Amino acid sequence: MGFLDSVKKVFGLGREELPYRKDWTVEEQEYPRPPPAAPPPPMQAAPRITSRRVIEAPVLGNGATEPESAGNGAVKIKAQPSRSGLECTFLVNRPIFAGHSWAFSGAEAASGWPLAEELFALGDEIVSLVFHDTTLTVKSRNKRPDDWLALARRVGDVIRRKIESGGPLVSERALAAMPSEEEIKKQIQEVIEKEINPGVASHEGRVTLLGVKGNTVSIHMGGGCQGCSSAAYTLKMGIEGSFRRAVPFLGLVLDETDHAAGVNPYFR
Amino acid sequence: MPRLNRFTIRIHTGEKGLSGPVQCKFNGHVLPLENVSGGTGSDEVYEGSFSPLSFIHGFTLVGPPAGEWNIRRVDLSYDAEGMGPYEISLGEVTLDETTELNLWKEKPLPLFDV
């Protein structure tokens, strides 16, 4: 085989064509045909997804101190550190700030409030305070739940001494200037309609005023706000700030939304 | 939310009992309770347990498909990771076809006199 033949063999050139045979026929086979498909069943309505309302039953025997009318019996104080340990709530059987609430962000904010001034004087451990009716919440730094015993006893001593002395616990000037519930309700409603709801509407959210007790405001965060992971941030950094600018003597702003309720909170 | 290793539920039925099966929903799924004893008729006590071994997002007792179920008391024993074993008791409640009872409660916070 010469060189040229080798090249032709490699590249398939010069291949002999097979003779065409006229007697070749293609046999057609009969394949069994599938039976005609049954007509689709009539469309049925999809099962309706019904969401049940999740309700709560009272927890029995939590051991909290029941408030008593002022002036009867000994002052009883129970301390309950939070799960994180960052704050401790003191449950007192006497009113600390009857029917009202007040938050102190530091010692400077406590000027003119006798009980708060003494508590901040306990040292740098106390970062902030909240008075709410018969409870007092102390926020500290670098604490775990087990670390509270010593500081809680000192806080308890101050509360007991101030109550037993019979002197004022809160600022009389603040009490005198405190607006009525009706005034607070009107101002908060105005802020919600003009400032808050137009802002959260872009996320299909809406804020509803549930009520005002003393100077404590309860709201509900609905629509896109319910179940949103940023709801707490929106409340603290946006809603609460707007409320406080409008109502200088505002106490706590409580979000009473059940953010876990419903079939699919936030996305709905 | 912690990982729930095991729970035991004891339901004390009041005046109106439940005729159907007890349905405990864990993260949206109905659990096949184990070691079941007792009943849910009037004044009866039902007990069951399960080991979900999963992180808890929702744990409820489903109300009856029709009518009312009056529950006098629910005793729950939990063993959740990072919390150890603890017990919770819930007070009287009535469930119907539109409601379910939240059964999940974290370990109660310590409370001491000062």
- pLDDT tens profile A73-132: 799 999 999 988 899 999 999 999 999 999 998 999 999 999 999 999 998 889 999 999
Cβ–Cβ contact A10 with B under 8 A: no
Interface contact flag, B112 A152, Cβ < 8 Å: yes
Query: What integer pLDDT is reported at residue A230 of this predicted model?
Result: 79
Q: What is the pLDDT of residues B20-76, one digit of tens each?
A: 899 999 998 999 999 999 999 999 999 999 999 999 988 999 999 999 999 999 999
Q: What pLDDT shows up at residue A76? A: 93
Q: Tokens at residue A44, please?
A: 């049925």
Which of residues B39 and A25 earns the better pLDDT score? B39
- B1, B73, B112: best mutation site toward chain A, by most A Cβ within 10 Å? B112
A82 touching B (Cβ < 8 Å): yes
Give the strands of the sheet with A253-255, arranged side by side. Answer: A205-213, A216-223, A253-255
Average pLDDT over residues A57-69: 62
Rounded to an integer, the average pLDDT of A195-216 is 89
Query: Minimal Cα distance from B98: which residue of A?
Result: A52
* pLDDT (mean) for A254-259: 81
Whether chain A has a CB inside 8 Å of the CB on B68: the answer is: no
Average pLDDT of chain B, as a whole number: 93
Question: What integer pLDDT is reported at residue A260 of this predicted model?
Answer: 66
What average pLDDT does the structure give for chain A? 83
Q: Across A69-73, A221-225, B61-65, which has the greatest mean pLDDT? A: B61-65
d(CA A85, CA A152): 12
B77 or A261, which is more confident: B77
pLDDT digits (tens, 9 = 90+) for A139-193: 998 788 888 999 999 999 999 999 999 999 999 988 888 899 999 999 999 999 9
HSE of B36 in the Cβ direction (CA atoms, 13 Å)? 10
- Beta strands at A53-55 and B99-102: parallel, antiparallel or unpaired: parallel
- Lowest model confidence (mean pLDDT) among A14-23, B26-35, B89-98: A14-23
CA dist A89 and A131 (Å) reads: 10
- What is the per-residue pLDDT across A183-201, written as a single tens digit (0 to 9) for each? 999 999 999 999 999 988 8
